[in-house]
Structure 1
Amino acid sequence: MSDWMAHSAGWDGTWQTMRAHTSAVSEGARERAPSFLREDAYLAGLFHDFGKYSPVFRMRLQGEASGLDHWTPGAFALLKNGLSEISALVVHGHHVGLAAFPQIDVLRHQYQSLERRELTLQLSDMKSAALAMHGDGLVPSGSPARTRLTKNVAGMLDVRFVTSALVDADHSDTAFHFTGVERTNARLFDIDKALRNLQSTIRRKQKGQMASTVGDLRLSLRNAAIKAAKGPRGLYALEAPTGAGKTLAMLEFALRHMKQHAGEKEAFRRIIVVLPFLSLLDETVKEIRGALGKEAADLFEHHSVAPWRDVSGEENMRGRERAEDWTAPIVITTSVQFLQTLFANKTVPLRKLHSVANSVILMDEVQSVPRPLALATMRALARLASPEYGCSVVLSTATQPEWEAHAHRFGEGESPFQPLAIAPRSLGLFDKIDRFTVDWSRTEKPIDWDALAEEMIAERRVLAIVNLKAHARQLTEAIQNAGWEGPLLHLSTNLCPAHRKNMLERSEVTAGDCLFVATQCVEAGVNLDFPVVYRAVAPLESIVQAAGRCNRHGNGRGQVRVFMPNEERYPGKMYESASKEALKWLQINGGELDLRDPAIFSGYYARLDSLSDAPLTKQELEEAIRTADFPKVAELYRLIDEQDVVHVAVPYEGAPDVPAVLTAEWFRKAQRFSVSASRKAVQASLWCRPISEDRRWWQVTDPTGYDPDLLGLKLDAELPIL
């Protein structure tokens, strides 16, 4: 038996040998990795604990040493022997996170701990450690397809997938050693049963839409999705009007596409639904669960307010496990969670990444990807849709960005970006919608809140969407001051998630008199239907989303009224540039823009792409990619800049009390009862105080600081939000 140990006494009192642990991890990593990276993953598994063949590490297991670096020796051995730069990066980073490649490359010539820790092996110990490893029968059995790292988005993604395979295999084997409990796998759904359930749901919906414009539109989109599902794996684009039934059409595409490719060597394993806003999640989850019935039993939600976070016991434990490995047959998550994982360098978010391979990925509202991240995002998605990873990626929106026009900027070695159209423009889907007219006349002269309030009161049932939380509050107050006595609703991210959910469930939202004032947080996926919609001047794609809340079910003809507020302010420079470009495009087109015409958006996006202050990438990000600087890329690829944002726990009904000592359980539960706001505004507030050591979490200490009936969090200065 080997004298070298990987772990101290486990659940049954026995120590785990290096032979047992390394064998399990190397094989486990190889099984988890995409086929073309399996030898890199196997090598990473073999060498990940190479530094434990050391008397110093034996002292660590006996509690006689600490703060050791056991990962650098393995990375050094891989580099020195020319085995795999990918594996070397992964071995070094499997505890401390992926480093910049130039730092790792230094190890070829200068053996040292990059983290300034005591190394478990010195150079003079390397030979004896290698002999011990060979004595355990741990010898490389194959060679990777390539030994050198490709320094681009595709190459860096390969490193992250190998990291994921290694970390999950390592953590799983270690957990089993200490607990004796194997993680249970999620139940895979039956594709045929899921399709039958979905078809029954669609038939029921169609009965209520017979001989209607909306029914015809949804049938056309569904037929197009069924036809497209017979196509090859790869990139797909779905461009369809709001209200066309994209959620169920994409779901049917995914199921039929999985069935089409079921007989292949590596079949599709799961569906991953990616949504940009929390406001989309409840409706989408409800729709998918309703459509699939029992086959959605193991659907998993991974986001900050997922239901499993609010419970304890087995359900919470199972949720945390699924968040770590994404082995559920259907995963519904946010753009932040999904896309930032593709560019992460830390092991916690990366652990689940290997489960993305061979998935059908449905990305809704793809136009919401921040422009400075678009070029990097395109390259990552193209890589996932390549034959190596075996994914099919659907990019869905009512206003498809002209991303393929920029594929020539990818650089050498990246995967091609050539999406197939699920619903070609020749189908005329946009010609089938005639639910509303658009009045642009209010963009010519600014209108003040009092005048707008009077117009809304005259209509009695109206939705008004503005760009800033401060504007939403001011318009709401103007309506109150004008003497409106009917239902008045206000929705912005000044309301905590639990408050927003309750607001949207009120009966006034669906019928009867109601003046509803909101920020753009209602523009995508929130099932609102108003005969009249006011929209403050915004980027053209935002105006289209607002129009999607107008006469959604095609009952007569609604009105969309675009207006310029008396106080022209926008949430950020790029949003302002896109809004002003929309106004210029309006003027160029004679003061009218047909929101049903996709060509209008092609011209608009072409103009946006020419603006220097609305770039599709950041120079600093491109430089970090060029040098394979993993920490810098992770720092720069952020969908939401939270540097100056804090979280405020608010006293809304059901909120957990703030304990004397903050716990992980409290943070999980508090997510649904917190509001994100600017640090400066919160610090200036009279009724907020910090409650965490890093001052990232604050608490409303005075009940007057939060209005549970209408306005939510009250701050003197407010954070513009998207």
Structure 2
Amino acid sequence: MDYIAHIRESDHEIQTVADHLMETQQLAETYGDKIGIQHITGLAGMLHDLGKYTEKFQNYIRLAVQNPDIPPKRGSVDHSTAGGKLLYNLFHIQPQGPFDKQDFMNKALLSEVVGNAIISHHAYLQDFLDPDLESKFLDRVRDRKLEGFDHAVTLFYEQVMEESAFIHYVNQAGIELADYMKRDDNPDIELKMMFLSKFVFSALIDADRTNTRCFEEVNVKNEKNSNEPMIRQQLFQTYYERLMERITDLQSGENADTTINLLRKQMSEQCEQFAVKPSGIFTLSIPTGGGKTLASLRYALKHAVTFEKKHIIYVVPFTTIIEQNAQEVREIIRDDANLLEHHSNVVTNEVEDIDGEDHELEDVVVNTHQKLKLAKDNWDSPIIFTTMVQFLNVFYAGGSRNIRRLHNLSESVIIFDEVQKVPTHCTSLFNQALNFLKIYASSSIVLCTATQPELDFVHNKLDIDPDAEMVHDLDHVIEKFKRVEIVDKATDDTLDTEKLANFVEQKLADEPSILVILNTKAVVKNLYHRLTEGDGAIPIYHLSTSMCPAHRNRILGEVKTHLDHKEPVVCISTQLIEAGVDISFDCVIRSLAGLDSIAQAAGRCNRHGRDGTKQVYVIDHEEENLKDLKEIKIGKEITKKMFIDLKRDKTCYGGNILSGHAMEIYFQKYYTELASDLNYFIPKLRKNMTELLSVSRSENTYYRSYYDEHDTLLPLFLANSYKTAADHFQVIKDHTTAVIVPYGDGEKEGKEIIADLNGQQSIEDLSSLLRRAQQFTINITNTDKNQLSHNKALVSFLDGKIWALTDGAYDDSYGLNLQNDSSHGGFIL
């Protein structure tokens, strides 16, 4: 009989288990080959659905298809444990008599890494040992009785891979594992195995879903495959040539011979020269306004062509705007189809059953959940713009949607724009992820900012290369780029909203354009309302993360138009405007914060140095509530002390609060002050996340407690808690939900996207819809979500997987309106 893996919805064509396993194996091998583990990932691919070779599952799938309105109970048939159980039985149970202990350990580790990926492929990697001193992994692969298991294994050997060939394949995987372990001198086996496990899981998830998608939508097989290495290299070469055309035009313009433009040219050329060096972790410390986007792209394209990289990935802070840089690159490469902007996950993460069981039903019936799961969301584009939140989620967040993208971070050039914005509590996790990408994944990392953090100063250090800086004679460059004066008003007095408004109005008499940056959305909104009470002669704009990307982009466009025409304008913003935004005001007022934020704010003033020296005023806003913003509060305190030092001694910090020396001292004080927070402490467990993920057995308190309780050792080489760590991981600690907002009335805008969410689209159309929706999405906290629900401002689509706001809950001036009573449709000026 034909053993069925899937039945196509459109024509009821079947995909056999053998075809699905072999095709998934082949895809997984190509993903694993990128880091030299093709047999390890291939092993996961060929075994992941072994459990479908049972009569029980075959009856189950036929029943599910024949009775779509009354399907069998989800999870009533377990098909994902069998592959892990086979590996455990073959390679983990210690043989009798003499044996090669190193070979046994390698095979056992292999069975744990690959087996965990297999049993978890409908959920998330399981704990080898959890806080309750239970092993869900052993419960599945050792203790669970599987009806028809032996017959399934026999069929696998008959239809997929003959037994001796399978053993040979496993031996090849064992050799790859041994080679992987030797790639650096770090003795931390658990850390290496954690990243290997996540990579294998990523490769399996993407291979499984891609193969299922290709079977379900036949036309997908005919898509142009831009993943092919030759095509990627041709693309990057073409993009490089187009970039050089743009640079040539800029360098022949009327202002090309100004001091700043000559420095920009020099630094851009230094980036190109640096691109021929082998991959590593480097810094690009171009001052704000120094042409960072073009220079970093020049490095990335040249390096990608020279070393045959597969992706160029820009990662920007979660507090910033990514549309502007993406649009600038899009205009240069003139190829919208191969540039992906990934702001956030529009779809909520998969909800797992309490005991970690599989979503078995969704694997055989293409319903709404399955369409969302199969939607193309794996970062396979040549050029990707994403956020720090999404990057960290790939490595550490729960569910399979995020981690699916991990394997596509290998063989890449990854540029972290404004890297100083790495969330403090994620510092060690960030460093460990970058070290993995450098050492094991053949990726080149560029830390791009005018205010470099001291990431090699902390305990879990970043493995940064010697002579890592791309820019020569950096102190000279910083001095030449000096075009603002920092005016300290913060150590004199505090200001409330009324006093600050008066100060802004006073400054408007001398400076036609003013940018005000404050630390919280509440005071930004209050100042905006206060200033718009005037006669409306001067346009006033508001920017915050309560507005969707498309809305912020429109506001910035209007502000830039005023600035280009030298018309008066005031913009009031949270810190999101400090990074990744090419905009220049005559005057900037910045509420006291970390020194890096002060420097970034200064970069939005007199950006091109055409107007002599302009002022950046640092004030202390007394109405800002920083109680829940610990990092900003500590940064503010350190910066205030440094201002006091400079007031007492004019030669302190080289006489410049923004000098490289001052920034180095600031970050060392900052990381020292927050040393206990850098490893992602989980109060509920009284443990750091780094402990859960990679602590050795000898230091693992759960492992020792297991021995005390059971009077025997845990029969596993790994004892880490991957799922528990993922369950507790949030880049933004107050959990948020993505919601689509009804911003804009035109085609392909927010209101139309919400109207289109009827669940009837094909997988391909749904993939496109979800990508478009990111421009019209904001993230709301649980508190906000509860208030919106109370005010009947939330609607759900696709079985509650996607959320959207009603019209009244989104305001055209400042975005999210919790009261759901917005009525005006224009901008208040």
TM-score category of the 2 structures, normalised to the smaller one: 0.7 to 0.9
Find the aligned partners of 1:572 and 1:656 in 2 and give their Cα distance: 34
Query: Residue by residue, what CA displacement relative to the aligned partner does 1:381-420 show, whole Å, maximum 9, x if unpaired?
Result: 111011x3111111111111111123x536xxxx944462
**One-letter amino acid of the counterpart of residue 505, structure 2:** I
**Is the 8 Å Cα contact of residues 154 and 380 (structure 1) preserved in structure 2?**
no
Matched ranges for 1:137-286 at <5 A: 137-138=161-162, 139-140=165-166, 141=169, 142-144=172-174, 145-146=176-177, 152-181=190-219, 182=221, 183-186=223-226, 188=232, 189-206=234-251, 207-261=253-307, 267-277=308-318, 279-286=320-327
Query: Residue by residue, what CA displacement relative to the aligned partner does 1:243-294 show, whole Å, maximum 9, x if unpaired?
Result: 1111111111111112332xxxxx3112112122485322112211222235
Aligned match of 1:310: none
Find the aligned partners of 2:777 and 2:444 in 1 and give their Cα distance: 36
Query: Residue by residue, what CA displacement relative to the aligned partner does 1:621-658 show, whole Å, maximum 9, x if unpaired?
Result: 12221353222332333222342668584576554277
Aligned match of 1:56: 56
Aligned length: 681
**Is the 8 Å Cα contact of residues 645 and 696 (structure 1) preserved in structure 2?**
no
**Is the 8 Å Cα contact of residues 451 and 596 (structure 2) preserved in structure 1?**
yes
Aligned match of 1:300: 340
Match of 2:151 among 121, 128, 133: 128
Which region of structure 1 is more displaced relative to structure 2, 666-675 or 530-539? 666-675
Matched ranges for 1:498-577 at <5 A: 498-506=550-558, 507-510=561-564, 511-555=566-610, 556-570=612-626, 572-577=629-634
Aligned match of 1:30: 29
Find the aligned partners of 2:332 and 2:384 in 1 and give their Cα distance: 15
Aligned match of 2:722: 630
Q: CA deviation at 1:349?
A: 2.3
Q: CA deviation at 1:530?
A: 0.8
Which region of structure 1 is more displaced relative to structure 2, 528-537 or 182-191? 182-191
Match of 2:644 among 587, 592, 608: 587
Find the aligned partners of 1:399 and 1:22 in 2 and give their Cα distance: 49
Which region of structure 1 is more displaced relative to structure 2, 529-538 or 319-328? 319-328
Are 1:606 and 2:615 an aligned pair? no
Tell me: CA distance 1:293–1:622, structure 2 relative to 1, closer, same or farther (3 Å). same
Find the aligned partners of 2:475 and 2:675 in 1 and give their Cα distance: 35
Q: Secondary structure at the match of 2:647?
A: coil
Find the aligned partners of 1:231 and 1:332 in 2 and give their Cα distance: 24
Q: Secondary structure at the match of 1:385?
A: helix
Tell me: CA distance 1:135–1:480, structure 2 relative to 1, closer, same or farther (3 Å). closer
Aligned match of 1:74: 83
Tell me: CA distance 1:173–1:711, structure 2 relative to 1, closer, same or farther (3 Å). closer
**Is the 8 Å Cα contact of residues 739 and 779 (structure 2) preserved in structure 1?**
yes
Match of 1:394 among 439, 446, 466: 446
Find the aligned partners of 2:530 and 2:141 in 1 and give their Cα distance: 70
Aligned match of 1:264: none
Matched ranges for 1:3-22 at <5 A: 4-8=3-7, 15-22=14-21
Q: CA deviation at 1:444?
A: 1.9
Tell me: CA distance 1:456–1:8, structure 2 relative to 1, closer, same or farther (3 Å). closer
Tell me: CA distance 1:46–1:515, structure 2 relative to 1, closer, same or farther (3 Å). closer
Find the aligned partners of 1:321 and 1:130 in 2 and give their Cα distance: 28
Find the aligned partners of 1:104 and 1:59 in 2 and give their Cα distance: 27
Aligned match of 1:314: none
**Is the 8 Å Cα contact of residues 157 and 343 (structure 1) preserved in structure 2?**
no
Find the aligned partners of 1:227 and 1:505 in 2 and give their Cα distance: 35
Find the aligned partners of 2:576 and 2:607 in 1 and give their Cα distance: 17
Aligned match of 2:99: none
Q: Secondary structure at the match of 1:567?
A: coil
Are 1:98 and 2:152 an aligned pair? no
Match of 1:355 among 390, 394, 408: 408
**One-letter amino acid of the counterpart of residue 587, structure 2:** V
Aligned match of 1:409: 460
**Is the 8 Å Cα contact of residues 371 and 614 (structure 1) preserved in structure 2?**
no
Q: CA deviation at 1:170?
A: 2.2
**Is the 8 Å Cα contact of residues 488 and 516 (structure 1) preserved in structure 2?**
yes
| TM-score, reference length from structure 1 | 0.85
Find the aligned partners of 1:404 and 1:602 in 2 and give their Cα distance: 12
Which region of structure 1 is more displaced relative to structure 2, 517-526 or 544-553? 517-526
Q: Secondary structure at the match of 2:315?
A: strand
**Is the 8 Å Cα contact of residues 342 and 380 (structure 1) preserved in structure 2?**
yes
Aligned match of 2:539: 487
Q: CA deviation at 1:378?
A: 0.6
Find the aligned partners of 1:679 and 1:168 in 2 and give their Cα distance: 30
Match of 1:656 among 751, 755, 778: 751
Tell me: CA distance 1:76–1:496, structure 2 relative to 1, closer, same or farther (3 Å). same
Tell me: CA distance 1:716–1:561, structure 2 relative to 1, closer, same or farther (3 Å). farther
Structure 2 residue runs without a partner (length 5+): 65-71, 92-106, 130-134, 182-187, 347-370, 682-687, 695-718, 821-829
Find the aligned partners of 2:61 and 2:786 in 1 and give their Cα distance: 46
Q: CA deviation at 1:715?
A: 5.3
Q: Secondary structure at the match of 2:677?
A: coil
Q: Secondary structure at the match of 1:166?
A: helix
Are 1:441 and 2:533 an aligned pair? no
**One-letter amino acid of the counterpart of residue 432, structure 2:** R
Tell me: CA distance 1:402–1:29, structure 2 relative to 1, closer, same or farther (3 Å). same
| TM-score, reference length from structure 2 | 0.75
Q: Secondary structure at the match of 1:280?
A: coil
Q: Secondary structure at the match of 2:751?
A: coil
Structure 1 residue runs without a partner (length 5+): 113-118, 262-266, 307-317, 718-722
Q: Secondary structure at the match of 1:96?
A: coil
Q: Secondary structure at the match of 1:390?
A: coil
Query: Residue by residue, what CA displacement relative to the aligned partner does 1:300-353 show, whole Å, maximum 9, x if unpaired?
Result: 2223499xxxxxxxxxxx999894332222122222222211224422222232
Matched ranges for 1:410-425 at <5 A: 416-418=463-465, 420-424=468-472
Tell me: CA distance 1:642–1:649, structure 2 relative to 1, closer, same or farther (3 Å). farther
**One-letter amino acid of the counterpart of residue 27, structure 2:** G
Tell me: CA distance 1:695–1:92, structure 2 relative to 1, closer, same or farther (3 Å). closer
Which region of structure 1 is more displaced relative to structure 2, 458-467 or 342-351? 342-351
Are 1:689 and 2:793 an aligned pair? yes
Query: Residue by residue, what CA displacement relative to the aligned partner does 1:155-176 show, whole Å, maximum 9, x if unpaired?
Result: 3222222122222222233333
Q: Secondary structure at the match of 2:277?
A: coil
**One-letter amino acid of the counterpart of residue 598, structure 2:** I
Find the aligned partners of 1:584 and 1:508 in 2 and give their Cα distance: 37
Tell me: CA distance 1:660–1:416, structure 2 relative to 1, closer, same or farther (3 Å). closer
Find the aligned partners of 1:256 and 1:450 in 2 and give their Cα distance: 52
Match of 1:374 among 423, 427, 452: 427
Q: CA deviation at 1:569?
A: 2.9
**One-letter amino acid of the counterpart of residue 592, structure 2:** V
Find the aligned partners of 1:441 and 1:344 in 2 and give their Cα distance: 42
**One-letter amino acid of the counterpart of residue 172, structure 1:** T
**Is the 8 Å Cα contact of residues 687 and 700 (structure 1) preserved in structure 2?**
no
**Is the 8 Å Cα contact of residues 225 and 423 (structure 1) preserved in structure 2?**
yes
Q: Secondary structure at the match of 2:36?
A: helix
**Is the 8 Å Cα contact of residues 587 and 614 (structure 2) preserved in structure 1?**
yes
Which region of structure 1 is more displaced relative to structure 2, 599-608 or 426-435? 426-435
Tell me: CA distance 1:339–1:583, structure 2 relative to 1, closer, same or farther (3 Å). same
Match of 2:143 among 111, 125, 129: 111
Find the aligned partners of 2:737 and 2:2 in 1 and give their Cα distance: 52
Q: CA deviation at 1:18?
A: 3.1
**Is the 8 Å Cα contact of residues 496 and 650 (structure 1) preserved in structure 2?**
no
Query: Residue by residue, what CA displacement relative to the aligned partner does 1:548-594 show, whole Å, maximum 9, x if unpaired?
Result: 10001111221101011232533612211111111112223336662
